[in-house]
Structure 1
Amino acid sequence: MVRRMFIPLAAAWLVLSLAPPAQAAQSEVYVALGDSAASGPLVPNQIGPDYGCWRSDHNYAHLTAQSIGAATFRDVTCSGAQTDDMYTSQGTDLGDVAPQLDALSQDTTLVTVQIGANDVGLTGFIEDCLNLLPPPVGDACNDDYNAGGQDQWRVATDALRARMTTLISDIHARAPQARVFVVGYATYAPPNGCYPRVPIIRADANYIRATLMYFNQMLAEQASAAGVGFIDLQTPSASHSPCTGPGTRWIEPYVPAAPAAPFHPNALGMRGFATAVTAAVTGVL
């Protein structure tokens, strides 16, 4: 979900158990669109040909495609992607990649799209809230985004509504047979945070939490208004935030203990997300 890379549950059998009817498995043409929350930077194994996208063959889209037995699967998710990159080529550290919407076709039957966080700079915002020293020595970052009594992130989120509606319409135009699912973002901070394990003070952790909840609500509302599905990742990841320990958390903290970019899904998280995505796209809820 980063414009600049940070270097930077379900068990796997449950994912594989969520199989659709045989007819769907034989005919599904699945295209995955999105940013690094979907691509899986540093999660083994990183694959090409677009290595600058930091795309894993164990991200939730790959696991979902395997689970449903998709006849054709195209994953064009890319770290750093914004909504503009759906339409125009995206520059990466290792070269330009094609517009993501180019992966759609008349025979596409399933699309997942997880996008928007980079448009409003949410990951940079989380990075800004790193606070090695609590107040009064350190400063609360949320004050910086509420100057003048207006929440900068809510304004930016609301400004993205029309663009999300247009994007969904454009996906339908290129893939008229497709079932489309907008995918939300995970839980990045539990109530009150867990300072100092994750060095974000309580007020900032609650602000991050509220900001992401509002952002996910916007995505869900735009999906509903456009008549497409919304896949909630916030709820299933609530007990797997960066504040939980290795082997439990789905999102890595500032200093990852598993192969993943900071504040991005690890392999365990991708398996958990694949369970939610597979259940949604197959109707097994």
Structure 2
Amino acid sequence: MDLNKQTRTTPSRRDLLRGTVVACCALALSTTGVMAASAATPAARTVDHVALGDSYASGPGIPTQVDAACARSGRNYPSLLAAATRRRLTDVSCAGATAAALAGPQGSQQPQLDALGAGMDVVTLTIGGNDIGFSGDLATCAGLMAEDLAGNPCQTFFTSDGTDRLAQRVDDTAPRVAAALDAVRQRAPRAEVVVVGCPDLFPDDGVGCTGSVVPLAAGDFACLRDTEKKLNAMLARQAAAHGARYADTYTPTVGHDMCRPAGERWIEPLAATAPAAPAHPDAEGEQAMAVAVEHVLRCGAHRR
């Protein structure tokens, strides 16, 4: 399977491929196909990939679901990436996971970090959204919409005490992400660790779309967009500080946010119409995330 060839089926996917090209990969991306795993590692050696994280990695609602307890899809980005690069995947991503849940049990699930070992080659980590309570915040914002349809009642609510409580939650989550990365490194000391950011959920220009599909006040889209960008910036900083790499899934998904019409959006709105969870990547979104992560991993292989 060739992730790049998959992305050439429509103009929007070509935009995705161009958007995820980074400077360090310029030479590698001059070819037409994805660099096979064998180009960076001996052909006889299996590359082990462990996927850790929350629902943005597990892919709730996307056919076919292979683990009901964790709402995990067999077509989530770790699975697509593993199939394209012939890596051996251990996927323990689970909907609802927080940074703390990586080291401790999550319901009946064993700690995700238990899947790691000294022989691991690649670890992807998708975490942070549940730590800042983003799903609950969206529900709060939807409930406040009627107070001021054209204004920003949600932003007013979260700054009513003079502080930006959404930004504060991002800051408070940073040490948890740092601790998670340290724990990953301790258990998988030679692995290439990639922290995977959040794709573009809201219009990047901050201009809202209102209605039953995305029930948010027009002025609150910019606030929520900025909170997501702050989360991604924090994740990128923590990755750099702890010897990991960061996969930007936001930039290549700009223009495919939940406000776009069906067929153009890769993030489902609060009233999902495609088989995916509300405010989560759909099948196209998971594909976009797979391409972004593959480029980061290919950059590392090219440098080595």
Q: TM-score, normalised by structure 1?
A: 0.88
Question: What does residue 4 of structure 1 align with?
Answer: none
Alignment partner of 1:161 is 2:174: yes
Distance 1:206 1:138, change over 3 A: closer
Q: CA deviation at 1:254?
A: 1.4
Alignment partner of 1:54 is 2:33: no
Distance 1:250 1:134, change over 3 A: farther
Alignment partner of 1:192 is 2:207: yes
Alignment partner of 1:119 is 2:127: no
Indicate which of 1, 9, 12 corresponds to 2:6.
Answer: 12
C-alpha separation between the residues in 1 aligned to 2:83 and 2:91? 12
Indicate which of 219, 225, 228 corresponds to 1:212.
Answer: 228
Q: CA deviation at 1:256?
A: 1.3
Q: CA deviation at 1:179?
A: 0.5
Compare 199-208 and 20-29 and name the one that shifted more. Answer: 20-29
RMSD in angstroms over aligned alpha carbons? Answer: 2.3
Q: 2:80 is matched by which residue type in structure 1?
A: L
C-alpha separation between the residues in 2 aligned to 1:98 and 1:239? 37
Question: Residue 19 of structure 1 contacts residue 67 of structure 1 at CA under 8 Å; is this kept in 2?
Answer: no
Distance 1:254 1:208, change over 3 A: same
Q: 1:231 is matched by which residue type in structure 2?
A: A
Cα deviations by residue, 1:157-214 (Å, 9 ceiling, x for unpaired): 1112122112111101100110001111111111122123522122211110011111
Indicate which of 193, 199, 205 corresponds to 1:180.
Answer: 193
Counterparts of 1:91-170 in structure 2, within 5 Å, are 91=107, 96-130=108-142, 133=146, 135=148, 140-170=153-183
C-alpha separation between the residues in 2 aligned to 1:11 and 1:198? 32
Question: Residue 145 of structure 2 contacts residue 217 of structure 2 at CA under 8 Å; is this kept in 1?
Answer: no
Alignment partner of 1:260 is 2:273: no
Indicate which of 256, 281, 285 corresponds to 1:240.
Answer: 256
Distance 1:11 1:245, change over 3 A: farther
Distance 1:13 1:208, change over 3 A: closer
Indicate which of 72, 84, 89 corresponds to 1:67.
Answer: 84
Indicate which of 57, 73, 82 corresponds to 2:98.
Answer: 82
Question: Residue 17 of structure 1 contacts residue 67 of structure 1 at CA under 8 Å; is this kept in 2?
Answer: no
Q: CA deviation at 1:20?
A: 3.2
Q: 2:132 is matched by which residue type in structure 1?
A: V
Compare 156-165 and 172-181 and name the one that shifted more. Answer: 156-165
Q: 1:35 is matched by which residue type in structure 2?
A: D
Question: Residue 19 of structure 1 contacts residue 282 of structure 1 at CA under 8 Å; is this kept in 2?
Answer: yes
Q: TM-score, normalised by structure 2?
A: 0.83
Question: Residue 65 of structure 2 contacts residue 72 of structure 2 at CA under 8 Å; is this kept in 1?
Answer: yes
Question: What SS does structure 2 have at the residue aligned with 1:236?
Answer: helix
Compare 138-147 and 262-271 and name the one that shifted more. Answer: 138-147
Question: Residue 10 of structure 1 contacts residue 271 of structure 1 at CA under 8 Å; is this kept in 2?
Answer: no
Q: CA deviation at 1:10?
A: 7.2
C-alpha separation between the residues in 1 aligned to 2:155 and 2:7? 41
Question: What SS does structure 2 have at the residue aligned with 1:117?
Answer: coil
Indicate which of 61, 66, 71 corresponds to 1:42.
Answer: 61
Q: CA deviation at 1:11?
A: 6.5
C-alpha separation between the residues in 2 aligned to 1:138 and 1:240? 24
Compare 178-187 and 22-31 and name the one that shifted more. Answer: 22-31
Distance 1:136 1:12, change over 3 A: closer
Question: Residue 11 of structure 1 contacts residue 271 of structure 1 at CA under 8 Å; is this kept in 2?
Answer: no
Q: 1:206 is matched by which residue type in structure 2?
A: A
Question: What does residue 5 of structure 1 align with?
Answer: none
Q: 1:12 is matched by which residue type in structure 2?
A: Q
Alignment partner of 1:31 is 2:25: no
C-alpha separation between the residues in 2 aligned to 1:107 and 1:269? 30
- Which ranges of structure 1 fall in alignment gaps of 5 or more residues? 1-8
